[in-house]
């Protein structure tokens, strides 16, 4: 009888979390004048993710704004949670205010103990959302891991492993196109391996990295990303981001990665080459993405001649990319 009541309670809680996504997202981040974070109680955990595809063409280059808005609403509770954890973890690494560590670790522990994000992934887009979130959570946890209690470490690291296992299984089962999504899966598993000491995860991440390096062409391009028509440049830059951070975590210098990064930088400055190769005018960014700060810290030959953007934030990459993550290996000397 007691077991049945427990199951009913868990089912009711999960159903409520699905029906009240905005309540589950209740958050964020009041930044005070000194930059201190206000730490609310953790939001209700999200178990299932029901995201949707929002590209309308076969080359995944044209976004339907209505479908995009629907997807953003569906994943907002998860993204808001990751954002809050990353903000607190980043703040603790900067200032060592115990309140920031308590906040980040408290939120991580709360979702960990309830098995958040381990429910149904209804679409490929749902799997994408979870792997981006897993990577960001592991990288944020790395910033505050030293402040975690033994109980918190046990709960959080077990949860990260529980999320890593289906991520690996899903990636291995979908052996078709190995594009940027595979690289982001590689980053997520590499980060989990680095914070848990799980050698199998680090080896799997290295396998992904090596596969990506095998895809880089002599000119620095990636065939799967070149197929994205007007978004070819965007996706070259997007694909490079997890690879750059993986290289630093694994402490790898690789000439193919250097070629990829320089290909991106050259086409940001002048997209004529990639427009000719892709057969379409490109959506051109004003500058190299902020992940170039991670690359420049680790590479033997930095590529950027200007400082990173003042706002260099990406929660999926562990927060402020200008603040070295403890998992990185900046070059010596």
Q: What does the pLDDT look like over 170-187, one tens digit per residue?
A: 999 987 789 999 999 999
- Judge contact between 181 and 128, C-beta under 8 A: yes
The confidence band for 38, taking pLDDT boundaries of 50, 70 and 90, is low
The pLDDT, as a whole number, for residue 24 is: 35
Token pair for 193: 């391996």
What's the number of CA atoms in the CB half-sphere (13 Å) around residue 135? Answer: 29
Distance CA 227, CA 60 (A): 9
- SS3 breakdown of the chain: % helix, strand, coil, rounded to 5? 65, 5, 35
Is 195's pLDDT higher than 70?
yes
CA dihedral sign, ordered 64, 65, 70, 76: positive
**Per-residue pLDDT tens over the stretch 268-282:** 999 999 999 999 999
**Mean pLDDT for the chain overall:** 90
Distances (CA, A) of 33 to 19, 36, 37: 36, 7, 10
What is the DSSP code (8-state) at residue 117? T
Look-up of token digits 């949670």: 81
The pLDDT, as a whole number, for residue 175 is: 74
- Judge contact between 291 and 321, C-beta under 8 A: yes
The pLDDT, as a whole number, for residue 58 is: 87
Please list, in sequence order, all residues whose beta carbon lies within 8 angstroms of the beta carbon of residue 192, skipping any fewer than 6 positions away. Answer: 134, 138, 160, 161, 163, 164, 198, 201
Q: Name the least confident of 8-17, 134-143, 165-174, 286-295.
A: 8-17
Q: What SS3 class is residue 314?
A: strand
Is 23's pLDDT higher than 50?
no
Is 250's pLDDT higher than 60?
yes
The pLDDT, as a whole number, for residue 10 is: 35
**Per-residue pLDDT tens over the stretch 301-333:** 999 988 999 999 999 999 999 999 999 999 975
Distance CA 17, CA 285 (A): 38
Percentage of the chain exceeding pLDDT 70: 88
Q: pTM of the prediction?
A: 0.89
Please list, in sequence order, all residues whose beta carbon lies within 8 angstroms of the beta carbon of residue 326, skipping any fewer than 6 positions away. Answer: 93, 142, 143, 145, 146
Number of residues that this document lists for the chain: 333
Is 54's pLDDT higher than 70?
yes
The pLDDT, as a whole number, for residue 274 is: 98
Distance CA 311, CA 329 (A): 22
Is 201's pLDDT higher than 50?
yes
Token pair for 105: 């670790």
Distance CA 178, CA 131 (A): 15
- Judge contact between 112 and 81, C-beta under 8 A: no
The pLDDT, as a whole number, for residue 297 is: 97
The pLDDT, as a whole number, for residue 37 is: 54
Token pair for 45: 């955990």
76 or 14: which carries more pLDDT confidence?
76
Q: C-alpha dihedral over 301, 319, 67, 13, to 10 degrees?
A: 150
Please list, in sequence order, all residues whose beta carbon lies within 8 angstroms of the beta carbon of residue 220, skipping any fewer than 6 positions away. Answer: 259, 260, 261, 262, 263, 264
Delineate the domains of the chain, giving CATH numbers in brackets.
1-147 (no CATH), 176-333 (1.50.10.100)
């Amino acid at each position: 009888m007691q077991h049945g009541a427990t199951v009913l309670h868990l089912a009711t809680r999960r159903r409520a979390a699905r029906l009240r996504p905005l309540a589950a997202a209740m958050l964020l981040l009041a930044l005070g004048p000194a930059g201190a974070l206000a730490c609310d109680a953790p939001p209700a955990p999200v178990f299932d993710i029901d995201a949707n595809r929002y590209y309308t063409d076969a080359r995944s280059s044209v976004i339907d704004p209505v479908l995009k808005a629907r997807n953003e609403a569906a994943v907002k509770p998860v993204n808001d949670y990751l954002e809050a954890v990353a903000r607190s973890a980043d703040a603790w690494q900067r200032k060592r205010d115990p309140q920031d560590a308590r906040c980040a670790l408290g939120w991580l522990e709360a979702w960990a103990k309830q098995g958040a994000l381990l429910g149904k992934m209804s679409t490929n887009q749902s799997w994408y959302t979870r792997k981006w979130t897993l990577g960001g959570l592991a990288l944020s946890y790395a910033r505050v891991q030293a402040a975690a209690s033994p109980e918190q470490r046990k709960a959080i690291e077990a949860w990260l492993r529980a999320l890593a296992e289906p991520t690996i299984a899903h990636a291995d089962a979908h052996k078709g196109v190995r594009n940027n999504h595979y690289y982001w899966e590689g980053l997520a598993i590499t980060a989990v391996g680095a914070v848990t000491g799980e050698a199998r995860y680090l080896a799997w991440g290295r396998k992904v990295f090596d596969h990506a390096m095998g895809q880089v062409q002599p000119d620095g391009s990636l065939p799967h990303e070149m197929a994205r028509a007007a978004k070819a440049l965007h996706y070259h830059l997007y694909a490079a981001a997890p690879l750059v951070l993986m290289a630093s975590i694994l402490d790898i210098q690789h000439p193919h990665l250097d070629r990829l990064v320089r290909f991106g930088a050259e086409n940001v400055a002048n997209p004529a080459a990639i427009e000719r190769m892709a057969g379409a005018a490109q959506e051109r960014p004003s500058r190299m993405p902020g992940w170039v700060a991670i690359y420049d810290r680790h590479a033997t030959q930095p590529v950027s001649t200007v400082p990173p953007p003042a706002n260099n934030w990406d929660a999926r990459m562990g927060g402020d990319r200008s603040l070295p993550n403890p998992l990185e290996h900046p070059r010596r000397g």
